[in-house]
A and B are shown apart, each in its own frame.
Chain A
Amino acid sequence: MTTVQEPSQVKLTEFEDNDQKPVGFGRMLRKEDARLLRGRGRFVDDVQLPGMLHLAILRSPFAHANIVSIDTSAAEASPGVKAVVTGETLKGLGLAWMPTLSNDVQAVLATDKVRFQGQEVAFVVAEDRYQARDALELIDVEYDVLDPVIDVRRALEPDAPIIRTDLEGKNDNHVFDWETGDEEETNRVFAEADVIVKEDIVYPRVHPAPMETCGSVADFDPVEGKLRLWSTTQAPHAHRTLYAIVAGIPEHKIQVIAPDIGGGFGNKVPIYPGYVHSIVGSIVTGKPVKWMEDRSENLISTGFARDYIMRAEIAATREGKILAIRTNVLADHGAFNGTAAPVKYPAGFFGVFTGSYDLQAAHCKMTAVYTNKAPGGVAYACSFRITEAVYLVERIVDVLAYELQMDPAELRLKNFIQKDQFPYTTKTGWVYDSGDYEPTMRLAMEMAGYDELRKEQAEKRARGELMGIGISFFTEAVGAGPRKDMDILGLGMADGCELRVHPTGKAVVRLSVKTQGQGHETTFAQIIAEELGIPPADIDVVHGDTDNTPFGLGTYGSRSTPVSGAAAALVARKVRDKAKLIASAMLEVSVADIDWVKGSFSVKGDPGKSVTIQDIAMRAHGAGDLPDGMEGGLEAQICYNPSNLTYPHGAYICVVDVDPGTAEVKVRRFIAVDDCGTRINPMIIEGQVHGGLTDGVGMALMEMISFDEDGNCLGASLMDYLIPTALEVPDWETGYTVTPSPHHPIGAKGVGESATVGSPPAIVNAVVDALKPYGIRHADMPLTPSRVWDAMRGQATPPI
């Protein structure tokens, strides 16, 4: 069932002046803000330990080069230097290579050769960060420069230089081939279709660039044999297991602490060499060691996103019934396959490229290659490659609308999966749990004033002004995932949760996931409050510390609410069941005669006879008898294995103006209607959406990590890699519909990445729509003034 709500847009000049304290769901101010507003957050770089040393990394200036020799003697003699470590040192310890999240290997420090600009070649540990950097200058590396492979197409040519000479028997740059859907059936449908439209679409390489870069503080205690590692990680438990495997330290002797994290967006999922360096540095020097990368290191060496070259084809009837979609993708995985995706999904969840439409057939073929660029691929709020999938389908549907001369909104409405078709199995095998697309689309159109906008556009066009209206409608697949299908390096994607109610009725809930700004300390307290009736202020949320939380795979892919949120609700219900038994004993009636309303248990038909959860907590821990066979205490623990992903959806409409004289694009309005099922804290949801929309403006109009032909990264600073400021984005207009997930205990779906996934096609569609008078039906991101200018003059080129 879908409920359509009034638009929740709050004008900038108005605000909700409320400090409500809901016991459960609803707008609630964040618990974490108290410290963050006072400068009392504790980020990794804020960690200061007695005797702590600082680590700096020497990186390769070349994209592809053999290492001939490294001379560290001058660096070792430099003031304050405690250790200089090279790949050769690590080789001796068996630590020169480590596994990536995709079962490939990555160099911790290069030994044989360097494979991308910025690759780690050596590190220095010194007394302060300035001294460590000084010493880097004194390391003398002799390189023998090789031809780099920058273009994915070049990588596949038979005479291309081989990048992964470290892999035995490897004589090409091929990573994997992957396929989904039914090729034969798709070709048959295409052969019979009235209309086929084809377009080459590039999703350029971009970077999540969280405001806090990556770093760690390692403190190895040789007496206890214990490693404590503060690090910028979105997945502390998964990291702990990997460190145990890489470094050979027993898992129970490793404590990974993710303190406050200054944004992640997928950038902080992989294990980077720098984290391992800090561990080695601490073992070697016997002191705590801090590594904090600078911005250019972050941009050139850590997990990039996208880099897909896609050929999209869509088949339809002349009346606009979409029949099938097929696509061929070339994926650039960089020098090591470091994609953070479930093992059986090498292309992530790209298989949802069939979008929100009821198709007869679909097929995708993909080839992934190595190039001399930084590794990564799954990051930047992509929901495991759904950004690419949604961009592909929402762009090609617009190209079809252009060719059919149909309104893009009408074309979408005509092809939606219908409400009564859910659960809906797509032609690529994804089971969409619930959805009701038309009301969401209609609400967005109503909020936008769609018909008036089209009228305004027609008038402007007549005057030679360029105004565009772009639509995108997305379905996401988030909350990885059922353990029978989904694991990362053999670790099932389940999440644990532990809840303890103290004698006085206050509680502590321990999570395996980790906020990077999403507000877990608030929303998880609200989930427990909803289920147990304890006010959120009385619930402490503990997370980001492997010694003090149950195992689970962490926060990325919008999975915290779908997986861990479900775990929290169920653990609270477990406690509630026990509380009910205790209540029945306290009230001296049978369990069947107990009613529960939030926070209190009463005798059916006699609400005056009741006990609160706080009374019960005291009884559970206190004196007096408990029901037969019951243990004392009031706590529970579970490990939640989701039965399916959750499938949020949304309708986005973007209005742009393009200056015909300068080709500058201005996003005038952006209307976002999201449906993420049950809404735990609308204020936080809105914030998540706003952030994602801003990412969308970045990717569509500004952001790109590009390379010159020698493999030099051209997006290595925030002067070159442009991120939207307050001036490039409009005031966001948001609305929502509610279609609960049928299999999630509270009906919630993930939302953290919806807007990053859904907004780029809306913006690009709007710009292309504005350029319609020029006869343009496609232009690739980023739509910078120069690229738009080229498009207007019929000289559009793909960015790669």
Chain B
Amino acid sequence: MQVTVTVNGVEYTKEIEGRLLLVHFLRDTLGLTGTHWGCDTSNCGTCVVWMDGEPVKSCTVLAAMAGGREVRTVEGLANGAELDPIQEGFRQCHGLQCGFCTPGMLMTCRHLLDKNPDPTEGEIREAISGQICRCTGYSSIVRSVRWAAVHEAEAAETKEEAVAQ
């Protein structure tokens, strides 16, 4: 079957098998290997991407279901050379070690900040509780999200001030 999916703003039309999972479509068909795969049971969250603005586990979505929708992956986070604040937060606060869970974590945390720009520790833990990190012990991920929240707030303030002036 043919499917047309927009990924990180680029439209792709591909001939695929009906059973192809979105995670394999992204990785194997499009070569976007930033999105990972880590389990058979929808537990690990290394595969999280956005579909129409909502985080989904791409191992549990058929590529066909993404037809006509907008997918955003970790490759679509940075603005050229400039990292998204959530990426910068992970860098500053050692929110990653092996980096395997990281793309999924980043997508979930970016979504959290968009909905809730000032999340508490508990809210952050809740948001990433469908995902597993085997390396960091989570504290540094929580800290990374807080870093991004604080810096985004500061940046917004500076911008407001500039506008006011």
Contacts and interface: CB of A to CB of B under 8 A. Distances in A.
A578 to B, nearest CB: 36
B90 A37 contact: yes
Most buried by A among B73, B93, B141: B93
Interface stretch (B29-37, B50-58, B63-71, B157-165): B29-37
Contact of B44 (A211, A296, A727): A211
A37 B102 contact: yes
Interface string A245-265: 000000000000000111101
A210 B46 CA distance: 12
A295 B39 contact: yes
Nearest to B35: A39
Most buried by A among B44, B100, B133: B100
A15 B100 contact: no
B65 to A, nearest CB: 17
Contacts of B20: 130
B31 A48 contact: yes
Contacts of B101: 211
A723 B91 contact: no
Interface residues of A, number: 63
B124 A726 contact: yes
Contact of B146 (A13, A39, A48, A692): A13
Contact of B87 (A38, A210, A687, A731): A38
At the interface, is chain A mostly helix, strand, loop or mixed? loop
A38 B92 contact: no
B48 interface: no
Contact of B134 (A34, A211, A717): A211
B114 interface: no
Contacts of A46: 27, 33
A29 B143 contact: no
Contact of A211 (B17, B38, B93): B38
B80 to A, nearest CB: 11
B40 A296 contact: yes
Given A37-B83, A687-B97, A725 B129 contact: yes
B137 A691 contact: yes
Nearest to A54: B28
Interface string A487-500: 00000000000000
B156 interface: no
B132 interface: yes
B142 A12 contact: yes
Nearest to B132: A723
A731 B124 CA distance: 12
Interface string B87-109: 10011111011111111001000
B98 A726 contact: no
A296 B142 CA distance: 29
B78 to A, nearest CB: 6
Given A13-B146, A726-B129, A691 B83 contact: no
A636 interface: no
Interface in A729-761: 729, 731-732
A529 B129 CA distance: 39
Interface string A43-63: 101101000000000000000
A692 to B, nearest CB: 8
Interface stretch (A66-74, A307-315, A449-457, A513-521): A513-521
Contacts of A129: 24, 28
Contacts of A693: 137
Nearest to B96: A36
A729 B106 contact: no
Q: Of B97, B100, B136, which is in contact with the most chain A CB atoms at under 10 Å from its CB?
A: B97
Contacts of B147: 15, 17
B129 A727 contact: yes
B139 interface: yes
Given A45-B33, A726-B129, A717 B99 contact: no
15 contacts: A13-B146, A37-B74, A37-B91, A37-B102, A39-B34, A45-B37, A130-B19, A211-B44, A211-B98, A212-B98, A263-B100, A295-B44, A517-B97, A687-B137, A725-B132
Closest 6 pairs (CB-CB, A-B): A39-B34, A517-B98, A262-B100, A690-B137, A36-B99, A517-B97
Interface of A: 10, 12-13, 15-17, 19, 29-30, 32-34, 36-43, 45-46, 48, 128-130, 209-213, 260-263, 265, 294-296, 516-519, 683-684, 686-687, 689-694, 717-719, 723, 725-727, 729, 731-732
Given A726-B141, A732-B137, 7 more contacts: A12-B121, A295-B44, A517-B135, A519-B97, A686-B140, A692-B137, A694-B137
